A and B are shown apart, each in its own frame.
Chain A
């Protein structure tokens, strides 16, 4: 395969990758976002596996044995902890609109610009070599494949500097992937999908080679191990080094645990690009599974390579390619080449984008924004400035990596440079882990810890490589700096017996952590630091409310804020965004000065664009801020916390209140009705009393004034006076009676009674009336009705009332009344049925109300107090029974009461 074919294939692959990204973005625009798929998220995490994994794992397995798995064990151990650590970081970043690890640290420690710069430099220094080795991997794999086809001119291709052109091409692609959109919180959906696709490509490619070695060249795992076990020098590959230092394992595992979270590219895909915290659930098992799969064939391939290239003619880092080449497997060779290519490119793309965001947001923008001249110059066009800074950064990063590759990287294997990078980002561990779990951790601690850690890292791990490249004298390595033995980079303070990486990690992280803790404990936080500390540590408590409760107090002109946002979002979008926010929080946009919530919101929007520190600078430039003391911050946060819970309580209370109000309304309605009823009752009573009183007075006066009246007439008049007096006293008694029932003062005098006796007694009592009117009463008793507890006199009163009503409404001499008792299922029913006038349906329920006639004057008024049925009803209710009427006009009425006797 000559170099032209390889170049074309590489470019085609990149185009395909871009196609995937483009397609993903189009899908997203159509609302069918692919990154909502948790598998895409999990696969994108596999950007962890770079060319180092692809080529270097086999190389490291050959030189160091099984130890290479340490960097995969670390993440595997770490993954379950992600639910605690990374989920929290994701939430913080979402709420605070943080888009890079440098921004995260800067934001946590009081939005400090210096920390952002420092973190960016650590990332840059740490990661540039890492990018460099990816370039190295691409160019060397290219040359191996090209050479094998006899294309010896490949070295001179592109004027002998293949890696440079690779760097250029990758810069272009990274720019296309990474800076198409302006707002970096808007995530790179296309890029993530492409990275996920690359993860599949490299996995398939590596497994294909591994399968080829294990099953086609050899006869399975057993065969390889058996053949290798015969060669003594190879046994070290697949057994633990018994003389080995287990501390080395420990440190390497620890290192990779930090790396899986804090490498800029891992932070980018795991945190910044995360769209749903729930995706972590899948990633927790899927990502370790991915790592297991990609490592299954590492040892067989290493052993196979050692067996096939016995006399060390081939660099073990290249076995993955060399084996298919040796067997002239063109397709497999190409697939493997593409696999390695994809592992390298995915790393370069994501890492560079992440770094470019850091450079623009934490280094360049603060400078641009601090300069009045620059601001004037780029006024209204800042988003383009940001984009251009990022593009320039991308080119610079890749070119710097190329430079590093040219000068230093060629002397080192893939893995060792990777580990140095890991150690660099591991310096973030105290500041970040402390930052999200320990409120006391402060700016000074982070600043000093990181600086000391970075210096020690540089001294113990980078300096030696620079010495190796000839930049510093070898004497530093041999005799220590300034000839001091304790300052030997590989055995600082005389610490020996550790490998370089463990040694460097140990000292740098130890010093870093001690400084961080010491200065955090012994120095004070300022208010903004404290504010951020509380928000970060208690993010799950505050994340619901952060949008509204910002700890900011001061004044700014709305027009200034608007102009600031216009620079990035354009006038139309700014207006829309502000309007929405104002609507949501009921802020008046017409006032000259702004609401502090709106200022805080604007700052947050800007953070997404230019990072925490830059946003801070911009907001400060247009607002007059009032200092808030730490105590105030705490009290504001506390009160907003209380407000939140108070709000919840209030909501609950308000619902309760609403219920109570409606109940009260109902009660009031009933009360009003009752009140009106009482009024009506009183005036009816008065009326009912006045009527007989009128007759009595008139008739008495007549008798008194007319002594010469006829004797018959006179006695008739006096008889009527007596009758009316009776009526009056009966009425008064009944009114008092009813009052007793209604106020609940009436008690029952219960004894065991027989319903038949009650009915018989009642009929007896009315014997005279019945006889006078010529009415027939028939009694049909139910002899199965049991005796039960009741108030005899009261029940008699009820039956008498029903009977006298019946008599009243029956026509003389034609009337017939049937009284019956029935015992059914524990209830005694007593009914009084007449063949009188009957009652209209619409009045059947009303007649049990007192003086119901009073409410409707059009009803034929029955003679009587109008209280009889009302009292009867009360009596039956006191016996826990019911009373009702069935009737039809012209067909008589049937009154029934039911009393439960069980």
Chain B
């Protein structure tokens, strides 16, 4: 089942991309990678992933914009968005949720917790798509 679920990882830090990619692949998801916001948009258009792990501070198009775009489009509004950000202020999180995020995880994060959270969302995705 999990192979059917597409996960997009967006971050401009190669080492973080590297670790997330490893974790998601190990869980059996189909993984896509983008190094900035605009690259992410292209992949979203093409692949319509179910889950996006989204960094906020990125060059050109930032994470907020990507999320807003996704959540305000009929085609993509079902996509689960998890913000992964070093911005840990209350204000930043509020903003993240206000643009429609499903989850906001601050960096640095526990890999196990993150994987569990992604899996939990994936269950909804699966049951959602089943119903």
Interfacial residues, chain A to chain B (CB-CB below 8 A) = 683, 686-687, 690-699, 701-702, 705-706, 713, 717, 720, 723-724, 857-861
Contact = CB atoms under 8 A, between A and B. Distances in A.
Interface string B7-38: 00000110110111011001000000000000
- Is chain B's binding surface mostly helix, strand, loop or mixed? loop
Interface size class of B (residues with CB under 8 A): 20 to 34
Given A694-B16, A720-B18, A724-B15, A701 B111 contact: yes
A698 B111 CA distance: 6
Contact of A694 (B26, B62, B86, B112): B86
Given A687-B86, A691-B13, A693-B108, A699 B26 contact: no
Nearest to A704: B111
Contact of A695 (B12, B16, B23): B16
Interface string B53-70: 000011110100000000
Given A687-B87, A694-B108, A702 B59 contact: no
B112 A720 contact: no
B95 interface: no
A892 B66 CA distance: 32
Given A691-B86, A693-B108, A698-B19, 10 more contacts: A692-B15, A695-B13, A695-B16, A698-B109, A699-B18, A702-B23, A702-B111, A713-B22, A724-B15, A857-B58
B108 A698 contact: yes
A699 B15 contact: yes
Contacts of A720: 15, 18
Contacts of B117: none
12 contacts: A686-B86, A691-B13, A692-B15, A695-B13, A695-B16, A698-B19, A699-B19, A702-B23, A717-B18, A857-B58, A858-B60, A859-B59
Nearest to A696: B108
A690 B108 contact: yes
A686 B88 CA distance: 10
A734 B108 CA distance: 22
Nearest to B86: A690
Contacts of B23: 698, 702
Contacts of A691: 13, 16, 86, 107
Contacts of A690: 86, 88, 107-108
Residue from B15, B22, B87 with most neighbouring chain A CB atoms (10 Å): B15
Contacts of A861: 12, 59
Contacts of A698: 16, 19-20, 23, 108-109, 111
B59 A858 contact: yes
B31 to A, nearest CB: 15
The 6 closest A-B pairs by CB, nearest first: A695-B15, A690-B86, A698-B19, A694-B108, A694-B107, A701-B111
Contacts of B18: 695, 699, 717, 720
Interface in B75-94: 86-89
B127 interface: no
Interface of B: 12-13, 15-16, 18-20, 22-23, 26, 57-60, 62, 86-89, 107-112
A697 B59 contact: no
B41 to A, nearest CB: 15
Residue of A692, A694, A702, A723 with most partner-chain B CB within 10 A: A694
Contact of A705 (B13, B107, B108, B112): B112
Contact of B26 (A692, A706, A723, A859): A706
Contacts of B26: 706
Contacts of A859: 59
Contacts of A699: 15, 18-19
Contacts of A696: 108
B99 to A, nearest CB: 15
Contacts of B107: 690-691, 693-694
A492 to B, nearest CB: 108
Contacts of A724: 15
Nearest to B64: A857
Contacts of A687: 57, 86-87
Contacts of B62: 857
A766 B25 CA distance: 38
Contacts of A717: 18-19, 22
A705 B87 CA distance: 27
A717 to B, nearest CB: 7
Nearest to A723: B15
Contacts of B109: 694, 697-698
A690 B85 CA distance: 9
A361 B77 CA distance: 101
Nearest to B17: A695
A723 B60 CA distance: 26
A694 B57 CA distance: 14
B16 A857 contact: no
Nearest to A856: B59
B48 to A, nearest CB: 26
A859 B12 CA distance: 13
Contacts of B112: 701, 705
A471 B26 CA distance: 148
Nearest to B92: A683
A701 B111 CA distance: 7
Contacts of B58: 857
Contacts of B87: 683, 687
A705 B116 CA distance: 14
A697 B57 contact: no
A716 to B, nearest CB: 8
A697 B15 contact: no
A857 B63 CA distance: 11
A450 to B, nearest CB: 91
A859 B62 CA distance: 11
A693 B107 CA distance: 8
Contacts of B88: 686, 690
Given A691-B107, A859-B59, A861-B59, A683 B89 contact: yes
A720 B22 CA distance: 14
Contacts of B60: 858, 860
A693 B15 CA distance: 11
Contacts of A702: 19, 22-23, 111
A684 to B, nearest CB: 10
Contacts of A723: 15
A477 to B, nearest CB: 116
A496 B11 CA distance: 127
Contacts of B19: 695, 698-699, 702, 717
Kindly name the residue among B59, B86, B112 whose own CB sees the greatest number of chain A CB atoms within 10 A: B86
A8 to B, nearest CB: 107
**Which of A697, A702, A857, A861 has most B Cβ within 10 Å?**
A857
A261 to B, nearest CB: 86
A690 B109 CA distance: 10
A610 B62 CA distance: 89
A216 B19 CA distance: 133
Nearest to B19: A698
A705 B19 CA distance: 12
A692 to B, nearest CB: 8
A77 to B, nearest CB: 91
A617 B4 CA distance: 113
Given A683-B89, A691-B86, A694-B86, A701 B110 contact: yes
A690 B112 CA distance: 18
A694 B87 CA distance: 12
Contact of B59 (A686, A713, A857): A857
Contacts of B111: 697-698, 701-702, 705
A724 B23 CA distance: 19
Contacts of A695: 13, 15-16, 18-19
A889 to B, nearest CB: 15
A608 to B, nearest CB: 74
A696 B23 CA distance: 14
B120 to A, nearest CB: 19
A215 B58 CA distance: 115
A696 to B, nearest CB: 8
B39 to A, nearest CB: 13
Nearest to A701: B111
